[in-house]
């Protein structure tokens, strides 16, 4: 990976869907790394995938070129393809139903406008190093949440 990009790896996880969910982020710029993670009590996997990407972009301190790698087709296709129609249709799907997680999509849309972002998809649980770290962080966040709230 070139130093020209801030590489971001995001993942979400959910124990039950809905259930306790976690998100994880690995950010890498040259030799610098930062990790982020968090959890919510009653959520879905898709919401956690979106939250991971929102948290990553919210943590950026200065303009740069970004490469976001996700294992979520929902996030990648949603932000690069589907969102244009949703916005044109007043946040409704082609079937005229409200877009699920519209408030998160709107947050993400506002954030992506600020950056030059290249989107990449990888198959989840396929051994991709950045994705595996993000997945581990998301699951750690779930376990930490459970220990704090059920112990």
User: Which tokens sit at 7?
Assistant: 């590489």
Residues 6+ apart with CB under 8 A from 137: 11, 22, 23, 24, 25, 26, 35, 36, 37
pTM of the model: 0.95
Q: What is the pLDDT along the chain (151 residues), one digit of tens a residue?
A: 445 899 999 999 999 989 999 999 999 999 999 999 999 999 999 999 999 999 999 999 988 999 999 999 999 999 999 999 999 999 999 999 999 999 999 999 999 999 999 999 999 989 999 999 999 999 999 999 999 998 6
Clarify whether 32 is annotated catalytic.
no
Examine residue 75 and say whether the peptide bond preceding it is cis (omega within 30 degrees of 0): no
Active-site pick, 4, 125, 143, 149 = 125
Domains of the chain: 5-150 (3.30.420.10)
First to last CA, the chain: 42
Clarify whether 109 is annotated catalytic.
no
């Amino acid at each position: 990976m070139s130093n020209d990009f801030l590489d971001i790896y995001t993942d979400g996880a959910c124990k039950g869907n809905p259930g306790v969910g976690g998100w994880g982020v690995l950010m890498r710029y040259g030799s610098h790394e930062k990790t982020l993670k968090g959890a919510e009590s009653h959520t879905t996997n898709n919401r956690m995938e979106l939250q991971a990407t929102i948290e990553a972009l919210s943590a950026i301190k200065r303009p740069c070129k970004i490469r976001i790698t996700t294992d979520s087709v929902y996030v990648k296709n949603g932000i690069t393809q589907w969102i244009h129609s949703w916005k044109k249709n007043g946040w409704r799907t082609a079937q005229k139903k409200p877009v699920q997680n519209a408030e998160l999509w709107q947050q993400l849309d506002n954030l992506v406008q600020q950056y030059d972002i290249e989107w990449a998809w990888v198959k989840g649980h396929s051994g991709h190093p950045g994705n595996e770290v993000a997945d581990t962080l998301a699951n750690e966040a779930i376990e930490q949440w459970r220990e704090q709230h059920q112990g």
